[in-house]
Amino acid sequence: MMRAARFWPGLALALCLPAAAAAQERIVVAGGDLTEIVFALGAGDRVVGVDTTSVYPRETDALAKVGYMRQLSAEGVLSLAPDMAIVSADAGPPVVLSQLGEAGVDVVAAPDLVGVEAIGAKIAAVGAALGLEEEAGALAGRVAADLDAVLARVAGLPTRPRVLFVLTVQGGGPMVAGTDTAADEMIRMAGGENVVTGFEGYKPLSREALIAAAPEVVLMMESHAGTLGGVEGVLARPEFALTPAGRDGRGIEMDGMLLLGFGPRTPEAVRELARLLHGDGAVQAGL
């Protein structure tokens, strides 16, 4: 049975928040999930720059880009004269974040949590930073209710397709998602079964282990699949061709931030993945 979504919109976070958060008018955001939250809270007009993982909503197209969130440049961020930088827990390098703080920028780090249980905490953190606590509570409540409704429908699906999430394919074999990963959680929430249970995190999988795992579906992020000729190209590789997924040509590509971002669009992501995994069964379940 799928577990219900749990959120803590009022979670107390150990963050250094500015005393007059609402006065922060120029914001840089590093983290696509955080950018989505800022816009969902109605504060998109304050954002002057985002990192390269911030591709939604469409308004981000017109914003200045400050690089990848883990490879930020102090000069690039400071050139936008921000009052605040809202960054993911793994954003960096740390020395750059320190330089931003020394330059007078309020640096707010999101909570270091992953998966469903991080969504409400991230919304609460961003809401507190922006002085929009009430709006954040309402947003977290809507997302939680929507996700619970989706999970209730998924729980009624009669099958659990065997899914392999492939991050990329390298010389030593495909890098795949084991347990305790965002991909593993998404697969389970969408009514699938992760075929990799022998390790945690993302690790290479040998040819023999891949064939033995016998995935019925291969799941990839669009951006990574595109560099490999699409998921179709991956399924055509000899080691994948010997699996049920390869023989049946069952591959799924999804937007990476939608699939693994665990932000306001997570209910939409679970619904979309469930539809792709279950087809007519998902439609009959009301997904």
Rg, Å, the chain Cα set: 20
Q: Nearest-5° angle of CA 265, CA 1, CA 275?
A: 45
To which CATH superfamily is domain 21-151 assigned? Nitrogenase molybdenum iron protein domain (3.40.50.1980)
- What CATH number does domain 162-284 carry, 1.20.1070.10, 3.40.50.720, 3.40.50.970, 3.40.50.1980? 3.40.50.1980
The structure's pTM equals 0.88
Structure-token match 């679970």, residue found: 270
Rounded distance between C-alpha atoms, residue 5 and residue 105, angstroms: 34
Give, as one character, the DSSP assignment of residue 90: T
- Is 21-151's fold the same as 162-284's? yes
Question: What pLDDT does 8 receive?
Answer: 32
Q: Report CA dihedral (122, 125, 126, 129) to the nearest 10 degrees.
A: -170
Spell out the per-residue pLDDT of the chain, length 287, in tens. 333 333 333 333 334 444 444 456 899 999 999 999 999 999 999 999 999 999 999 999 999 999 999 999 999 999 999 999 999 999 999 999 999 999 999 999 999 998 999 999 999 999 999 999 999 999 999 999 999 999 999 999 999 999 999 999 977 679 999 999 999 999 999 999 999 999 999 999 999 999 999 999 999 999 888 888 889 999 999 999 999 999 999 999 999 999 999 999 999 999 999 999 999 888 787 88
Residue type at 109 in one-letter notation: A
Beta strands in 157-206 (DSSP E): 162-170, 173-177, 193-194, 202-204
Burial 13-28 (b: 16+ CB within 10 A, else e): beeeebeebeebeebb
Each domain of the chain, given as residue ranges in start order, spans: 21-151, 162-284
